A and B are shown apart, each in its own frame.
Chain A
Amino acid sequence: MSDAVEGAFAARLKAYEGRPAAVAGVGKDRVNAPMIRHWCEAMGDTNPAYTGPDAIAPPTMLQAWTMGGLSGHAGRAEAYDELLGLLDQAGCTSVVATDCEQEYLRPLRPGDEVTFDAVIESVSDRKRTKLGTGYFVTTRMDLRVDGEPVGTHRFRILKYAPARARPGGRRPRPVINRDNAGFWEGVARHRLLIQRCTGCGTLRFPWLPGCNACGCPEWDTVEASGAGTVFSHVVVHHPPFPAFSPPYAVGLIELAEGVRMVGNVIGVPYDKVWIGMPVRLEFARYDDELELPVFRAQDGNGG
């Protein structure tokens, strides 16, 4: 969508704010013991307040009493159907609930007939999410029994266009050139090679054509022992890239030889990586062509 078209569309959506989402809805079933029991069985909820002659309904069942079930919603307002239809036309055909805020003013008991009205509180701007691009729609419902308020239910959904399945899913290939080819040849032989300046003996990583310390272009290599520690790390949550499944930890590893390199930290949950954690080099194969050095967490104290 161009900016102008997107702007006009956003304005059309915004116009629904404040309009009804449901008018004079009536719960399809009165509050009743069987539905309460089915709910409790499914939830594994053995609270005695929900059984017996004085049973109340689990308060969190609030929305269930307003659901349309297989036969559809009763009392849904035209404005809400229009809004959802507009979003469907814009390709936002999928829906997922993201937020639910309920207040319980008094318990519901078997026999209560729930009535409800709801309003479209807000429609967000277009948002990019992991699921796809779409709009958050927030509604607010007031529930009553015999005209008396019994609870409120604020509900947010994301109407979105599902992100297309990404082609491939292969990791990006390393860029290999004459300056770093030796490193990748080492990886192919499961050796992690560090460059060493033959002028001044300084180790360097990543590979470079010359020495940062003395400028000498001559070098040879030292094979890393494979021992290292986490010098620092980040956890990638978002956005997802093909072939990567967030969350995952990316470590800046200080090798025993003193140089640092970036690599995945494996063998430990992403949120259990800590600075100073001992790690050990491994080579992980990702596909027919690609092998990469990674670092496996070692048992250590302090974790």
Chain B
Amino acid sequence: MSASYQAVGWNKQKKKYDWIIFSFCVVYLIVFIGVTAYVNPDYTFETVLVRSTSTLALLLLHVILSIGPLARINKKFLPLLYNRRHLGVTMFTVALVHASFGIFQFHALGNVNPLVSLFMSNTNYGSLADFPFQALGFFALIIFFLMAITSHDFWLHNLGPKVWKTLHMMVYPAYFLIIMHVMLGVIQYETNPVFVLILGVGSSTLIVLHLIAGTREVKKDNEEFGLKQDGFVMVCGVNDIEDNRAKMFCIDKERIAVFKFERKLFAVNNVCKHQNGPLGEGKIVDGCLTCPWHGYQYLPQNGQSPPPFKEKVSTYDVKVQGQNVWVNPKPYPEGTERKGANF
């Protein structure tokens, strides 16, 4: 939520995160290359480089895609989510090494341009078994490239959250392309079933994690509220919300975060303007409702980020009757001041 863009400050957490990524990547590469060299003394450097980087990139992609649902299932995974873009850029860099060497090895020094060769050598586009799998990897790499270069908040701000999020959701089609790249490529060569097994376990784990996280979300969204009165809906008791904390309610398809601050209740749209984070799982920090994903902040009374920041979310009317909290799901324009409800 910057008004101007400066070199990113690498705080202690970021440095630690990056060191852990680097160390894990190095450990993987050393073990893979070491074992390959030991088991296959006839190995060649080029092949080991292509294979070690491809498998590392695929492993990183699985880790990246698991962090989202894991953080939805258990908030303790949030430290992994905050700097996930670092993992993404690392994965792209490793994949780029794989692709560059692959294109050089298989397509350079021939009678046509390597990129023409990539698409025109094997032209069995109509056959599944014989499909030119390298083209699939190429398109996935383009998606990862676009994601990597737009990972900075500068692009989030300039493209707008909707376009940016849509672009970054392309990671799922890219993942599908990569799985097909592997299945129609090296899996057709290797004979040991362990390769398919490892890939199957990885994909299944991702599917299960996304299903668990998604089911929880749907359950929360479909929660029924019985009591309605003058456009207001009774959502919970006053004591159900902790001080300086929020709760999310989905009323008439509107996700609303209701939070308690200085003996008042306020309601704002649950969806953070940064990356659609759940404000209802946030906390009041320094007088601002703070998103749990990346720490974006909003003032309770009007849903605006504190100056000079410009993000705004919709606000809603809240009232307290007896010990019950009532919310009107009709949104006010983003940034509209509301008094909140005393209790």
Q: Do A and B bind each other?
A: no
Interface residues of B (CB under 8 A from A): none
Identify the A interface with B (CB < 8 A). Answer: none
